[in-house]
Structure 1
Amino acid sequence: MAYLEMPDHIPLYYEERGEGETILLVHGWSCNGGYWWQKNVESLSESYHVVTVDLRGHGQSGKTDHNHTLSQYAQDIRHLMESLNLTDVTLVGWSMGTAIALSYFDQFGSDRLRSFVFVDMSPYMFSEEGWEYPLFGEFTPEALDGVVEALQNDRPSFVKEQILEAFFIERPSEDVIDEMYAEMMKTPTGVTVAAFQAFCDNDFRDVVGKIDIPTLLMYAEGSAIFPGDVGAWMHEQIPDSELVVFENSSHCPFWEEPERFNHELATFVAGLKDRMIGAP
């Protein structure tokens, strides 16, 4: 167990395993690093230095009612990398973790990074004329208000029956759903609301096209969270990108197809090293 104190004195929980090139895994909304990446860390750490982190307010990190913005989460990731002296990092973001990675790039460019891996996320959440890839396929400010109300008034049924239902092609057993919900409850309801609002308040469409490092796009064909073909759109915007589609997953390909996910990610990182060796 390791904690790093942020400049505003919030303790950030992180774990490290393995040696080699660094893969930093950033979890999604209301989740945490240790539980949600459990099917990936052991395999990846056989060849790489794998770091997981619990965002402030999430998991085992310090709880605070303040500073739950994507820019602050990205600054925390930056402070973690600086404190651990991490360079040439492959920054992996799942869902909101991708939005945090985009906020990092918007603030700091590609400093300390070698590559990105984005897992099933759209750069803009709301429905808009000419935009085909909002959250849930259709999402409005009024729908956001409804999500906030559901989280505040009936979080158990909303998370178990709607969010977790949409996470998977095949719903896990009720014991696993209860376990996942218990992990998500480590994030206080006020934090989940603030983080979800921050997630929805950002528009990273212009940022995506500026990415100048290799990027692996890992999207799920059956995603109920982002049902449109946003992976193809991202692939068109990012010059140096690869798109991998998981046919048997919804929002969590790292959980539903972990062997393939781990293989694709490890192969991508190995290819980065080959590029460096072959560079003039």
Structure 2
Amino acid sequence: MPFFESFDQKKIYYFEQTGSLPYSVFFLHGWSAQSSLMTDLTKFFPDFHFYFWDARGHGQSDPDTDASVGKMAEDFRYFLTHVYHKPYPVIAVGHSMGALTLFEYISRYQTDLLSKIAIIDQSPKLMTDSEWKLGIYGNYSPEINQEMIEAFLKDLGDGVIKLSTSGLNKEYNEMFQKKPDFFYQRKRVFNHERTLSLVSIWKTLTQADYRKIVDKINIPTLLLYGMKSQYYLQDTAFFMKEKIKDSQLHFFEKGDHSLFIQEPKRFASLISSFITEK
């Protein structure tokens, strides 16, 4: 299995697909997910060089009970400077936490070594307050976040279900209320060290504020948002479109937070066109 040792010798798992076109796409997944949930997408991109990873603390990568969004940004930087050797431009696609990892990377290195980025259903600031309503659920206070963290620490699998069924997608919430067993039978199990790793990351994600960073994005940016997102209001997408000058915004009518699952062909079409357009 391919791993690279990052800046602090933690082993990071990654998967590579080779293609015939001169573009390399790096897909950064969401919090608590892993590359195996995304690799089915490769069938829609047979001609591109594609990279997926298990972010630090996730999947087959080493756990790190002090993991953070900053460390993940450094992992990505290390990959680009020490592991990636192809002469092709890199297009980074960040879903959820993956988008926040890109924002953190840009806060440290601007858009160095990136030719384009795609942001999938993400806000630049997760926690809300009296002046900012475009974070999680449109209403996610420090108090709510602390309750969620306590749920994660008690049983992360249960906590992830709670996080995804407490939000804006009423249809999804009602499905959970009617058939909770359907969700719990598919509950993911995390050991203690993995739980501490992911909760450590979550704390740094919810403390971050990248609103001033997105203003500085100066490369072509594709913004993809789900109209049935569990987490973000459509106004979040419009905020991002306004702040990033060279950006294009598309909504997915059937899409929730993981819109590439509900509408994979449209997702692939938009990503492919974005990659190859001049």
- TM-score over 0.5 (shorter chain): yes
Task: Compute the displacement of 1:204 (Å).
Answer: 0.2
Indicate if the aligned counterparts of 1:10 and 1:62 stay in contact, CA closer than 8 A. yes
Which residue number in structure 1 is paired with residue 230 of structure 2?
224
Which residue number in structure 1 is paired with residue 211 of structure 2?
205
> Residue 229 of structure 1: SS of its match in structure 2?
helix
Structure 1 counterpart of 2:35, from 33, 36, 53: 33
Which residue number in structure 2 is paired with residue 17 of structure 1?
17
Which residue number in structure 1 is paired with residue 199 of structure 2?
193
Q: Which amino acid aligns with 2:203?
A: Q
Query: CA–CA distance in 2 between the matches of 1:137 and 1:185?
Result: 31
> Residue 25 of structure 2: SS of its match in structure 1?
strand
Confirm or deny that 1:239 pairs with 2:245: yes
In the TM superposition, structure 1's runs of 4+ consecutive aligned residues that sit over 3 Å from their partners are 164-181, 183-187
Task: Compute the displacement of 1:23 (Å).
Answer: 0.6
What TM-score do the two structures reach when normalised by structure 1?
0.88
> Residue 40 of structure 1: SS of its match in structure 2?
helix
Query: CA–CA distance in 1 between the matches of 2:138 and 2:113?
Result: 34
Indicate if the aligned counterparts of 2:24 and 2:89 stay in contact, CA closer than 8 A. yes
Indicate if the aligned counterparts of 2:65 and 2:193 stay in contact, CA closer than 8 A. no
Confirm or deny that 1:115 pairs with 2:116: yes
Query: CA–CA distance in 2 between the matches of 1:185 and 1:41?
Result: 29
Query: CA–CA distance in 2 between the matches of 1:74 and 1:42?
Result: 27
Which residue number in structure 1 is paired with residue 254 of structure 2?
248
* Alignment gaps of 5+ in structure 2: none
Identity of aligned residues (%): 27
Query: CA–CA distance in 2 between the matches of 1:179 and 1:61?
Result: 25
Q: Which amino acid aligns with 2:79?
A: L
Deviations along 1:52-89, one digit per CA (max 9) or x if unpaired, are: 001111000011222x1211101101111222225521
> Residue 104 of structure 1: SS of its match in structure 2?
helix
Which residue number in structure 2 is paired with residue 56 of structure 1?
56
Which residue number in structure 1 is paired with residue 71 of structure 2?
72
> Residue 207 of structure 1: SS of its match in structure 2?
helix
Indicate if the aligned counterparts of 1:39 and 1:255 stay in contact, CA closer than 8 A. no
Indicate if the aligned counterparts of 1:132 and 1:228 stay in contact, CA closer than 8 A. no
Kindly report the root-mean-square deviation, in angstroms, between the aligned alpha carbons of the 2 structures: 2.4
Task: Compute the displacement of 1:262 (Å).
Answer: 0.8
> Residue 39 of structure 2: SS of its match in structure 1?
coil
Indicate if the aligned counterparts of 1:11 and 1:62 stay in contact, CA closer than 8 A. yes
Which residue number in structure 1 is paired with residue 4 of structure 2?
4
Confirm or deny that 1:135 pairs with 2:141: no
Query: CA–CA distance in 1 between the matches of 2:143 and 2:188?
Result: 28
Deviations along 1:219-274, one digit per CA (max 9) or x if unpaired, are: 01111211342111100111100001001111110111111111111111111xxx
* Alignment gaps of 5+ in structure 1: 276-280
Deviations along 1:109-161, one digit per CA (max 9) or x if unpaired, are: 11110101000000011222332301111011111110111111233333235
Which residue number in structure 2 is paired with residue 278 of structure 1?
none
Q: Which amino acid aligns with 2:250?
A: V
What TM-score do the two structures reach when normalised by structure 2?
0.89
Query: CA–CA distance in 2 between the matches of 1:89 and 1:184?
Result: 32
Query: CA–CA distance in 2 between the matches of 1:193 and 1:153?
Result: 11
Matches of residues 160-171 of structure 1 in structure 2 within 5 Å?
160-163=161-164
> Residue 198 of structure 1: SS of its match in structure 2?
helix
Task: Compute the displacement of 1:184 (Å).
Answer: 6.6
Task: Compute the displacement of 1:199 (Å).
Answer: 0.5
Q: Which amino acid aligns with 2:255?
A: S
Query: CA–CA distance in 1 between the matches of 2:62 and 2:243?
Result: 36
How many residues are aligned here?
Answer: 269
> Residue 91 of structure 2: SS of its match in structure 1?
strand
- 165 and 136 in structure 1: CA distance in 2 versus 1, 3 angstrom threshold: closer
Task: Compute the displacement of 1:186 (Å).
Answer: 10
